[in-house]
Amino acid sequence: MENTLGLEIIEVVEQAAIASAKWMGKGEKNIADQVAVEAMRERMNKIHMRGRIVIGEGERDDAPMLYIGEEVGICANPEGKLQCSPDELIEIDIAVDPCEGTNLVAYGQPGSMAVLAISEKGGLFAAPDFYMKKLAAPPAAKGKVDINKSATENLKILSECLDRSIEELVIVVMKRERHNDLIKEIREAGARVQLISDGDVGAAVSCGFAGTNIHALMGIGAAPEGVISAAAMRAFGGHFQGQLIYDPAIVKTGLIGESKEANIDRLKSMNITDPDKVYDAHELASGETVLFAACGITSGNLMQGVRFFHGGARTQSLVISTQSKTARFVDTIHMNEQPKVVQLH
């Protein structure tokens, strides 16, 4: 994938973040999500690519756009069709979460972002809309911690890898009933727990950077977000493992169907014959070229949120690419009209 695609992809997450940020604090999570979806799709449909949504807003029959399987890019755009023929274009798979942390945007809370991952066709695991047990950790612990070990064992390993006492470690866990035992175990081992209500993509990627005061993500989140997190950690050399959770009794949210058996059958129909398999970042984001892009909607550990000023907006994005082997922070001033003042910082 040419680097130019990477630069256009930044605009995709910037536009989604700007659209969603206009709804920050208004208590309307579905609108904050919808406007991000529309803005992301509109900008994607200007890019000379032949994109396919492999992780999106849902199955075709329950998501009006950015549904799983939707073709995006210049050829999906009626005017664009005239400008090119599909077989001239690079085929890529795209995992999107136009508004990751819809609740966070609706209630003006930190850490929401517009996010996506791309790879060449077949390069991203098309995770079903189930849950995923996740373990994310810094590059220094890559391959040393293991999702099959207990939290206590992993904390000891993390402590050695990071040369930090267990008491200094901060572990992010989503504040959910399913995590009560995990939270208790982490605290009893002596580490500290940062509970989050939503947004485990940002938490996972924060593990990749020193200075975030986040040393691991543990617990169960959504599987689609797990693939997007894995793409970032793959590009960054961080540790990420994921294991599908398909038993409704474990997550207790009523969002993944009636029964474990029915979910196992659904996985089989997706050629996932070992439902308990543990995937690492290279299996979840297996493409030769993987690119992760996120733009802050509300400010968080990694990026500033969208700041509006008279005549425009300012955004901060993070793009991590296996191709250029870079993690780029992109600070963009969007000038819709001639602004009276353009701040340097």
Ligand X SMILES: O=C(COP(=O)(O)O)[C@@H](O)[C@H](O)[C@H](O)[C@H](O)COP(=O)(O)O
> Where on the chain is the footprint of ligand X (CB under 6 A)?
97, 100-102, 174, 176, 198-201, 221-222, 225, 253, 255
What binding mask, one character per residue, do residues 170-209 give for Mn ion by CB under 5 A, x or -? ----------------------------------------
CB 75 within 8 A of CB 87: no
Q: 180-188 and 151-162 helices cross at what angle (nearest 10)?
A: 50
Residues in the chain, overall count: 345
> How big, in percent rounded to 5, are the helix, strand and coil portions of the chain?
35, 25, 40
Maximum alpha-carbon separation in the chain:
63
Under the binding rule (CB under 5 A), the answer on residue 70 touching Mn ion is no
CB 48 within 8 A of CB 84: yes
Residue 11 interacts, among ligand X, Mn ion, none and using kind-specific CB cut-offs from 5 to 8 Å, with none
Token digits of residue 319: 């793009």
Cβ at position 100, least distance to ligand X in Å? 5
Q: From residue 80 to residue 119, what is the string marking binding to Mn ion with x (rule CB under 5 A)? A: -----------------x-xx-------------------
Complex with Mn ion: residue 95 or 320, whichever CB lies closer: 95
Stretch that binds Mn ion, among 85-93, 225-233, 252-260, 322-330 (CB under 5 A): 225-233
Question: Does residue 324 contact residue 3 with C-beta atoms inside 8 Å?
Answer: yes
Which residue, 6 or 226, is less far from ligand X as judged by CB? 226
Which residues have CB under 8 Å from 237's CB, separation 6+? 139, 142, 208
From ligand X, Mn ion, none, interface partner of 272 (C-beta below 5 to 8 A by class): none
- Smallest distance, Å, CB 332 to Mn ion? 22
Give the footprint of Mn ion on this chain (CB under 5 A). Answer: 97, 99-100, 225
